[in-house]
Amino acid sequence: MKASRKKTPKEYEVILFPLITEKAVDVIEKENKLTFIVDMRANKKEIKREIEKEFNVKVDNVNLLRDTKGRKKAIVKINKQFKANDIAMKLGVI
């Protein structure tokens, strides 16, 4: 019997899509944070690495939670040197 192995981040998409809600947009403007729906297998380190690589920014903190729809939500605090507004505009959130 083969032992199952854990899939690496390269074998699945870490960040699925940005969350566009009134609260998520409010957090972008007030707290310099972005909200993403991520893969259930993704951890904080993988999410941080992916955001930093994808958008060329420095991430200060990543908080994870499960929403009522059963999705995994990542709230990513962007460093003060960068603006979450700029990234949100690239993504089409704002």
Q: Each residue of 16-29: pLDDT tens digit?
A: 999 999 999 999 99
DSSP type of residue 19: -
- Residue 30 neighbours by CB under 8 Å, 6+ apart: none
Distance CA(66)–CA(93), nearest Å, equals 21
What the chain holds in terms of domains, given with CATH numbers, is: 12-91 (3.30.70.330)
- The two structure tokens encoding residue 87: 């990234």
- Cα 73 versus chain centre, distance: 7
* H helix intervals, 1-94: 22-31, 44-55, 84-91
Instruction: Quick: pLDDT tens for 30-78.
Output: 999 999 999 999 999 999 999 999 999 999 999 999 999 999 999 999 9
Q: What is the pTM of this model?
A: 0.86
